[in-house]
């Protein structure tokens, strides 16, 4: 029943490895996102996709590659992991329904806690 | 670029008390949306309340209400009759219409003591 689900929830890996985080939403939304929360709890958008098309790329290193096979899925692949990539990565989704905050609300998954050692 | 500032890194109150978390933002837009999200220790980001800038009436959701002062660019969250389950990080966030991007404040860690 989870609206936005992402896996894995916890991931510990060594520097230099490649890893992926998967995300699925069952809300029927057209837009999906990846946000990063750093060690100081600061949240910032990384990417957004609308109907499988990249809309926002916030100067994220090209080691990070999002892939959206369909509008219900947005996966994040990270190459050559670095210590600074350690963070919580949140997948999210929304549906733009005209004006109003309720129609533009972004709903978040539970987060994936990545630790690079 | 829009910025959001939460000037209280941490707050602590007794159960059943009322607490107000402050948030200010900077924008040149006339229409926008504002949100408060809660992040309990489980890390889940949970929507608490939302407000459209073109609405003068302050949003309320049960024990949660906002004081939206558009001219002052202030959007504070009031939690009445606080409960232990309200213990969490609270984030204020700003969104321009059609931008589909949330800009977050630094967060306020709220602890409700028994």
CATH number where A83 lies: 2.60.40.10
User: Chain A partners of B90 at a C-beta cutoff of 8 Å?
Assistant: none
Per-residue pLDDT of chain A (117 residues; tens, 9 = 90+): 669 999 999 999 999 999 999 999 999 998 999 999 999 999 999 999 988 888 888 878 999 999 999 999 999 999 999 999 999 999 999 987 666 777 788 999 999 999 999
Q: Into how many domains does chain A fold?
A: 1
Q: Do B43 and A102 touch (CB under 8 A)?
A: no
pLDDT tens-digit series, residues B56-91:
899 999 999 999 999 999 999 999 999 999 999 999
Q: Which domain holds residue A52?
A: 4-116
Domain regions of chain B by residue span? 3-113
pLDDT for res B56: 86
Token match 């129609």: residue?
Answer: A103
CATH class of residue range B3-113: mainly beta
User: Chain B partners of A71 at a C-beta cutoff of 8 Å?
Assistant: none
Give the C-alpha separation, A40 to A108, whole Å. Answer: 19
For an interface test with A, which of B98, B100, B103 has the most A Cβ atoms less than 10 Å from its Cβ?
B100
- The residues near A38 (Cβ < 8 Å, ≥ 6 apart) are A44, A87
pLDDT for res A1: 61
What percent of chain B is predicted at pLDDT more than 90?
87
> What six digits make up the tokens of B39?
């992040």
User: Chain B partners of A102 at a C-beta cutoff of 8 Å?
Assistant: 50
Note the residue count of chain A. 117
Mean pLDDT of B16-22: 98
Rounded to a whole number, what is the largest CA-CA distance in chain B?
Answer: 43
Interface of B with A (CB under 8 A): 33-35, 37, 39, 42-47, 50-52, 89, 91, 95, 97-98, 100-102, 104, 106-107
């Amino acid at each position: 029943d989870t609206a936005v689900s992402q896996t894995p929830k916890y991931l510990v890996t060594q520097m230099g490895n490649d890893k992926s985080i998967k995300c699925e939403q069952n809300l029927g939304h057209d837009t999906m996102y990846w946000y990063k929360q750093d060690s100081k709890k600061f949240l910032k958008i990384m990417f957004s996709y609308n109907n499988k098309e990249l809309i926002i790329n916030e100067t994220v290193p090209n080691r990070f590659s999002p892939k959206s096979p369909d509008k219900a899925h947005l996966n994040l692949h990270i190459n050559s992991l670095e210590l600074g990539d350690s963070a919580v990565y949140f997948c999210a989704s929304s549906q733009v329904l005209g004006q109003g905050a309720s129609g533009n609300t972004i709903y978040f998954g539970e987060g994936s806690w990545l630790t690079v050692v | 670029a829009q910025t959001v500032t939460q000037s209280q890194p941490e707050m602590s109150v007794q159960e059943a008390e009322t607490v107000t978390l402050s948030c200010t933002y900077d924008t040149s837009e006339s229409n926008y949306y504002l949100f408060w999200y809660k992040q309990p220790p489980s890390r889940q980001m949970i929507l608490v309340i939302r407000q459209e800038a073109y609405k003068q009436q302050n949003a309320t959701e049960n024990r949660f209400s906002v004081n939206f002062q558009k001219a002052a660019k202030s959007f504070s969250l009031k939690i009445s009759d606080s409960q232990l389950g309200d213990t969490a990080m609270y984030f204020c966030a700003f969104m321009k219409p059609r931008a589909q991007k949330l800009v977050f404040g630094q967060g306020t860690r709220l602890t409700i003591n028994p």
